[in-house]
Amino acid sequence: MKEQRFVIGDVHGEYEMLEKLLTFWDESQQDLIFIGDLTDRGENSLQVLERVRQLVEEGRALCLRGNHEEMLRHFLQQPEKKAALYMMNGGLKTIESIVGKDLVTVTQAHVMAEAVMTQLPWLAEFIENLPYYIEWQNYVFVHAGVDLTLDDWKMTQPHEFIWIRQPFHEGENRTGKTIVFGHTPTPSLHQDESQFQIWQSDHKIGIDGGAVFGGILHGLVLDKTGIVHHYGVQKDDNGLIQATTYQ
């Protein structure tokens, strides 16, 4: 069992940023965890999906289920009913990256869903197998958060694991765990539109640095004592990727 975890925030199709961040991962010392929301909004969701799936299938990484994975799953199951919500949340970019823009512009939702499943026959099962949370040492890794009003946080409803916001952010953490989460871009947590750094409060660590919104894709290295290293990648004004070691 490795003594460290390297956890990566919401990627949202930013494949080049992900590849740059992975250069900091020491696989010999660190197990890799993705916090969820691999796809949507960014240009290269297909490449991100294929890369993460490969790492997971090789036993080299774990990936949590995010609300965007769940929306994609629902779209594939009920395309005509779920297309509007999924497209409103950036799903069009994912569909385009998988089946091409030409098909998307001239077809109905169910045809797009069928084309996605034909192109990626493994996708639905991959999403279905993604866990809602991972426990390790004194940490809980989860996409959005947990229900802090419950005596046992593990009884959190599936919807809350991937969608919860303010009740978790503002609730008292009595779990005895440090909860590492994504989902809510950190400028909202900091109440500062320019603040893309991680957010820490009450043994909660928010790591969605808004990479797809011009922010930072964060990678934290954790051991049982706390944050060991903190890396980030960000695009400059020319679209070039810059890497930073914060700790």
- Residue-wise pLDDT for 61-86, tens only, equals 999 999 999 999 999 999 999 999 99
Of the candidates 34, 29, 31, the one whose C-alpha atom is nearest the C-alpha of residue 18 is 34
Q: Is the pLDDT of residue 211 over 70?
A: yes
Compute the average pLDDT of residues 179-186.
98
Query: Given pLDDT bands bounded at 50, 70 and 90, which one contains residue 104?
Result: confident
pLDDT digits (tens, 9 = 90+) for 123-179: 999 999 999 999 999 999 999 999 999 999 999 999 999 999 999 999 999 999 999
Which residues are CB-contacts of 40 (< 8 A; sequence separation ≥ 6)? 12, 13, 68, 71, 72, 89, 90, 91, 93, 94
Q: Is the pLDDT of residue 201 over 70?
A: yes
Residue 123 CA to residue 126 CA, distance in Å, equals 5
Tokens of 172: 């008292």
Domain boundaries defined on the chain: 4-66+132-246, 67-129
Q: Is the pLDDT of residue 105 over 80?
A: no
CATH 3.10.20.30 fits 4-66+132-246, yes or no: no
Which pLDDT score is estimated for 100? Answer: 87
Which pLDDT score is estimated for 247? Answer: 80
Q: Is the pLDDT of residue 106 over 70?
A: no
Over pLDDT 70: what percentage of the chain? 99
Task: Look over the chain and give the mean of its residue pLDDT values, rounded to a whole number.
Answer: 96
Which pLDDT score is estimated for 3? Answer: 95
* CB neighbourhood size of 70 (10 A): 22
